[in-house]
Amino acid sequence: MADLQERKIKDAQMRATINQKLVETGERERLKELLRTRLVECGWRDQLKAHCKDIVQQKGLEHVTVDDLVAEITPKGRALVPDNVKKELLQRIRTFLSQQSNI
Amino acid sequence: MSVHGCQHLSAFKAAKGTDPFRIIYSYFIACPSADARRIKAKSCVCHTCRQPTLRLHACMYCIYFGCYGAKHIHEHAKSKKHNLAIDLTYGTVICFSCEDYVYDKDLEDIARSFSQKPSLNLVSEYLKDPFSSWEPSEDELQLLKKNPKRRKVDAKSTVGLRGLINLGNTCFMNCIVQALTHTPILRDFFLADRHTCQMPGESKQCLVCEMARLFQEFYSGICTPHIPYKLLHLVWTNARHLAGYEQQDAHEFLIAALDVLHRHCKGTNGMSCSNPHLCNCIIDQIFTGGLQSDVTCKQCNNVSTTIDPIWDISLDLGPGPPAFSSHSTPSPGGTGFTNSPGNYEPTSLLECLKRFTRPEHLGSSAKIKCGKCHCYQESTKQLTMKKLPVVACFHLKRFEHSTGYHKKISTFVSFPDELDMTPFMSSSRNDNNGFSNQIIQDMPTSLSCDNKYSLFAVVNHCGTIEVGHYTCYIRLHKDQWFKCDDHMITKATITEVLNSEGYLLFYHKQILEYE
C-alpha cells in the first residue's frame, strides 16, 4: 500500500519534470505544431470542424457554448485520431526524452 | 457565443485597459525568449491543486492560475468575483458571467501582433506562420464577389482530368504533362498562384507561366481535350534537341522540361540560406534529391564522400554484374533474386534500388587516387540517398543503347503503390561497407513514415525502340486511377496500374517536413 502511494508520488513528480522540460526547450510547442499539421493532413480537422458546424447549426449559435462543443466532440475527436499519428508523436516524445540527460 | 466581446469584458477594458491581457499573453502564451519559457515551465501549475494540468487558465484580475478541468478557475472566479480569465494554451478569454469564451477584436489584434513578431528564437519559428485559417483580404473579397460561381471538390469529383491532343508524335510530352499536372504539391503551388514571373516583359517566353496557364486549363472544369500547342512551341524554342515531329523519349523530355522550368524560375528567386549551392525554386524544392557517393579505398579504408543533386533516379534493368560479396543475402520474400554471375535481373523496383545502392567494386582498371594514401588504389563505390526529394521519379532504363545494338527491355518490373526509402538512405549505410541486413529486413515494420512514398503517376511505353506510343496512369484523390492516352481518358484500377510495364514511376512523399 505504502509502495503504491510512493510510486504515485514519484510518477507525479516525473510527469511534472517531463512537462517542465518539454515547455522549457520549446519541444512542447514543436510537438503541438507537428500534431496540428498531421491532423490537418489526415483530414481530422475538417471532419471535426464539420461536426462542430452541425452541432452549432442544430442548436443555434446563441445557444451553444465552447463547453457544450467540447463535451460533444471530445469522444469523437479522440476516436478519430489515426494510430500512426499517435505512434509518431509517441516516437518523437521518446526520442526527445532519450536525449535529455538530466531526467 | 459572442463575436464582439461582452459587456463584462468591455467594462474590464474600460477600467484597466488591455495591458493585463498583453502581459499575460507575452509571458505565458507567446513566450518569445528562452527565459520566458523557463518561467512558463516553472510557474504554469494550478495554484489550487499544484498540477501542471491541461487547459490552465489565468485570472485577469489577480495572480491566480487554475485548472479548467477540475473547475478550480471557476471556484476562484466565483469566490473572488473575478469573472474574466485567459486560457493559457490558446490565449482566448473566458467570461464566467456569460459562461463562455468571448472574442474581442482588440485582444485578438494584440495576440496576432505577438505571433507575427519576427524573432531569431527557435520556438517562435512556428509563430511566424502560425496555423490559422485563411482570411480573405479586401482584393480577394472583391474577386470572390465578382466570380460567384463555386465548385465543390469532393472524393468523387473528376476536376483536373483533361485529355491532351496529340500534335504529331507528342505523346512523349503529353504523358509527362499529365504526370506533372497531377503532382499534388506542384498543383498546389500553381493553383495557389505562387509563381511570379522572372522574365518581365517576355512572360510569353516563360515556361513556368505556361505551366501556370496549363494548370488553369486543367482545373477549369472544362472536359474537352486541351491543345498544348503553346507549350510545345516553348519546348521547341527552349530545348532545341526535342524540336520536330519525331518520336522522342519521355524521360529526356521530363529532364529537359524540369531544366527549362528551373532556369525560368531562377532570376531573383534567391538562394536557399541553408545551402548556397541549392536553388530554392519550386522545381528544386520538389524534385531535387541528394545522391551520396562513397568511395572507399581498399588499401586504407579511407572513405571519400560526395553529394550530388539529382532530379530522377535511373535504374538499370537486365543482367548486370554479380552482386558484391558482402551483400549476398537474398532479399526476404523477394522474387527471382539470384546472385549467380550474369543472371542478375531485377524484377522489382526494390531489387533495382538494392542494385543501385549496392557497393560496387571498381576493378583494377579503374583505380582512383586515394586522398589518404596518395596513390592510385582499387576501391569500392556505393551510392545512397542523402536527401530524399518530395517527388521521386524512377526511370527504368528500358531502352538499352549499347555499342552496336539498341533494344528495348520489356521485362515486367513490379513496383509497389507504397514505397519506403529508408533502406536506401545514407543513414542506413553501414560503416563496414554495405548496409546492415537488419535494416532491410526490418523495413516492413519501420515505424516512421518520414521516408514513405505513394505512387501517383506511371508512364508506360508500348512498342519497340524505334516506334511506339506513350500512355500514362495518374492518380486523383487518394485512390482513383485514370489512364491518359492523349485525348482519351479512361478509368483504371490500381491492379491495372501495378501490372503495367512501367517506364517512369512517380512517387510522392507521404509526409512533408517543414523547414
What percent of chain A shows pLDDT beyond 90? 25
Burial class (CB in 10 A: 0-12, 13-18, 19+), B109: exposed
Find chain B residues with C-beta within 8 A of A78's C-beta.
Answer: none
Burial class (CB in 10 A: 0-12, 13-18, 19+), B178: buried
Q: Which residue is catalytic, options B171, B297, B370, B484?
A: B171
**Averaged pLDDT for residues B35-62:** 84
B512, three cell numbers: 512533408
Size of interface A-B (CB pairs under 8 A): 55
A93 at B interface, C-beta within 8 A? no
Active-site residue flag, B47: no
Residue given cell 545522391 in the structure block: B291
d(CA B368, CA B362): 9
B49 at A interface, C-beta within 8 A? no
Please give the pLDDT value at position B449.
66
**pLDDT tens-digit readout, B117-172:** 544 343 334 444 445 566 778 888 999 999 888 877 777 788 889 999 998 888 99
For all residues of chain B together, what is the average pLDDT?
A: 81
Residue of chain A nearest B121, judged by CA positions: A26
Active-site residue flag, B281: no
**pLDDT tens-digit readout, B345-396:** 788 999 999 989 988 888 777 777 777 787 888 888 899 999 899 999 999 9
Please give the pLDDT value at position B192.
83
Please give the pLDDT value at position B202.
79
Total domains in chain A come to: 1
Find chain B residues with C-beta within 8 A of A23's C-beta.
Answer: 37, 40-41, 44
Per-residue H/E/C for B76-102? HHHHHCCCEEEECCCCCEEECCCCEEE
Inter-chain CB proximity B1 and A62 less than 8 Å: yes
Please give the pLDDT value at position B514.
56
Identity of residue A19: N
Among B49-63, B329-343, B395-409, the minimum mean pLDDT is found in B329-343
> Over 80: is that where the pLDDT of B34 sits?
no
B455, three cell numbers: 505512387
| pLDDT tier, A103 (very low <50, low <70, confident <90, very high otherwise) | low
Query: Which of A53, A66, A95 has the most B C-beta neighbours within 10 Å, making it the best mutation to test the interface with B?
Result: A66
DSSP-derived letter for residue B279 is: B
> Over 60: is that where the pLDDT of B2 sits?
no
CATH code assigned at A23: 1.10.246.140
**Averaged pLDDT for residues B228-257:** 88
What range defines the domain where residue A78 resides?
Answer: 2-99
Please give the pLDDT value at position B458.
96
Whole-Å CA distances, B355 to A76, B339, B351, B504: 47, 11, 6, 18
Residue bearing the bigger pLDDT, A61 or B331: A61
Contacts of B10 (CB under 8 A, 6+ apart): none
**pLDDT tens-digit readout, B420-472:** 998 898 887 754 444 444 444 444 444 556 788 999 999 999 988 888 999 99
d(CA B144, CA B186): 24
User: B9 near B84, Cβ under 8 Å?
Assistant: yes
User: B425 near B451, Cβ under 8 Å?
Assistant: yes
Query: Which of B1, B53, B93, B188 has the most A C-beta neighbours within 10 Å, making it the best mutation to test the interface with A?
Result: B1
Inter-chain CB proximity A25 and B37 less than 8 Å: yes
d(CA B504, CA B179): 10
**pLDDT tens-digit readout, A46-62:** 899 999 999 999 998 88
Q: How far is CA A87 from the centre of its chain?
A: 13
> Over 80: is that where the pLDDT of B411 sits?
yes
| pLDDT tier, B253 (very low <50, low <70, confident <90, very high otherwise) | very high
Burial class (CB in 10 A: 0-12, 13-18, 19+), B296: buried
d(CA B227, CA B49): 70
For the ranges A76-90, B39-53, B108-122, the maximum mean pLDDT occurs at A76-90
Please give the pLDDT value at position B481.
94
Please give the pLDDT value at position B489.
92
Please give the pLDDT value at position B13.
87
B42 at A interface, C-beta within 8 A? yes
DSSP-derived letter for residue B514 is: P
Residue bearing the bigger pLDDT, B438 or B73: B73
Please give the pLDDT value at position B273.
44
Q: Cα-Cα-Cα-Cα dihedral of B230, B161, B285, B383, to 10°?
A: -100
Identity of residue B264: H
**pLDDT tens-digit readout, B187-234:** 988 988 888 888 877 778 889 999 999 999 998 888 899 999 999 999
Identity of residue B157: S
**pLDDT tens-digit readout, B463-510:** 888 889 999 999 998 889 999 999 999 999 999 999 999 999 999 988
Residue bearing the bigger pLDDT, B27 or B180: B180
| pLDDT tier, B3 (very low <50, low <70, confident <90, very high otherwise) | low
> Over 60: is that where the pLDDT of A24 sits?
yes
Please give the pLDDT value at position B120.
36
Please give the pLDDT value at position B346.
84
Find chain B residues with C-beta within 8 A of A84's C-beta.
Answer: 449
| pLDDT tier, A15 (very low <50, low <70, confident <90, very high otherwise) | confident
Identity of residue B19: D
Please give the pLDDT value at position B443.
42
> Over 90: is that where the pLDDT of A81 sits?
yes
3-state helix, strand, coil in chain B (%, to 5): 35, 25, 45
Find chain A residues with C-beta within 8 A of B514's C-beta.
Answer: 37
| pLDDT tier, A16 (very low <50, low <70, confident <90, very high otherwise) | confident
User: B290 near B307, Cβ under 8 Å?
Assistant: yes
Please give the pLDDT value at position A86.
92
DSSP class per residue in B287-355: H-EEEEEEEEETTT--EEEEEEEES-EEEE-SSBPPPPGGG-PPPTT-SS---STT-B---BHHHHHHH
Give per-residue burial for B304-323: e unless 16+ CB within 10 Å, then b: beebebbbbbebbbeebeeb
B243 at A interface, C-beta within 8 A? no
Find chain A residues with C-beta within 8 A of B44's C-beta.
Answer: 23
Residue of chain B nearest A62, judged by CA positions: B1
